[in-house]
Amino acid sequence: MNTPALALTPTEQRLLDEFQHGFPLEPRPYASIARQLGISETAVVETLRHLQAAGVVSRVGPVLHPNRIGASTLAAVAAPSARLETIAALVSEYPEVNHNYQREHHYNLWFVVTAPDRAHLGEVLADIRARSGLEVLDLPMLEDYFIDLGFRLQWT
């Protein structure tokens, strides 16, 4: 949950900043990004792998409106403070989990789960419950409000 500061190169900064939106929808999207950045396709892929391994990038993929394709839910657990980092790491192991974050609340670890269907989503939540020993609060969306989370990054 707490990623140590990482000095990013100008190319890494551009990759993170310029491709939050408008990811190329073509057979070789990383080649298109490479051309725009003036580097090789291999360098783009390796840079993204490095940023992911460093905890700067959690995933590269589309953001789809909830429940248009498959199923999704917002979920939360009340993790004991001493286990919060461990539970967050456990939750992040699931490819169905988009992201998780800490909140100052009784339910202090929140995460979004997506799956092909509601049955699979229920299996993921049940598995998290079984492995963590914590009750999982399942909060499916009732009404859609779209908030664009892409924003210009500030580099200091």
The verdict on 75 and 122 lying in the same domain is: yes
What's the pLDDT score for residue 152?
72
What's the pLDDT score for residue 156?
66
How many domains does the chain divide into?
A: 2
The verdict on 86 and 131 lying in the same domain is: yes
d(CA 16, CA 29): 15
The verdict on 48 and 75 lying in the same domain is: no
d(CA 19, CA 39): 15
Buried b (16+ CB within 10 A) or exposed e, 2-13: eeeeeebeeebe
Q: How many of the other CB atoms lie within 10 Å of CB of 100?
A: 22
Q: Which of 77, 76, 132, 120 has the alpha carbon at shortest distance from 96?
A: 120
Host domain of residue 88: 71-139
The verdict on 75 and 40 lying in the same domain is: no
Report yes or no on 64 lying in a domain.
Answer: no
The verdict on 33 and 79 lying in the same domain is: no
What's the pLDDT score for residue 1?
44
d(CA 75, CA 88): 12
**Which residues in the chain show pLDDT less than 50?**
1, 3
Give alpha helix (H) positions in 38-117. Answer: 41-53, 84-92
The verdict on 77 and 122 lying in the same domain is: yes
Query: Is this prediction's pTM over 0.85?
Result: no
